[in-house]
Amino acid sequence: MGQYGKSHERIKRQIDLDLSVEHEEDIGTDIEAVLNGNIWRSEDGKSSLDANARYNQHFDEFGNNGGTFRVGLKFIFDV
């Protein structure tokens, strides 16, 4: 039992990271990184909050072109 009368067990979390790099001659190289993970899950498992982040960048033959970054949250609930 914890300090406030509840058992505080460690919760195993999984975070997925996908990284891809594609190169095409005379066009450039595309880099993408995607991160997905669960932030919170209710005790009954019916509700959860997931987060994701994505970064894309294209490098042309001169090393130019900026990247884009996106972040998202997904809340799932069952009543």
Report the predicted TM-score, pTM, of the whole model to 2 decimal places. Answer: 0.69
Does 72 score more than 70 pLDDT? yes
Task: List, for residues 1-48, the tens digit of each pLDDT value.
Answer: 445 556 667 767 789 999 999 999 988 899 999 999 999 988 888 999
Q: What are the domain boundaries of the chain?
A: 15-76
pLDDT, one tens digit per residue, over 22-32 is: 999 988 899 99
Instruction: Look at residues 70, 56, 47, 69 and name the one whose alpha carbon lies nearest to residue 21.
Output: 56
Helix (H) or strand (E) holding 52: strand 48-59
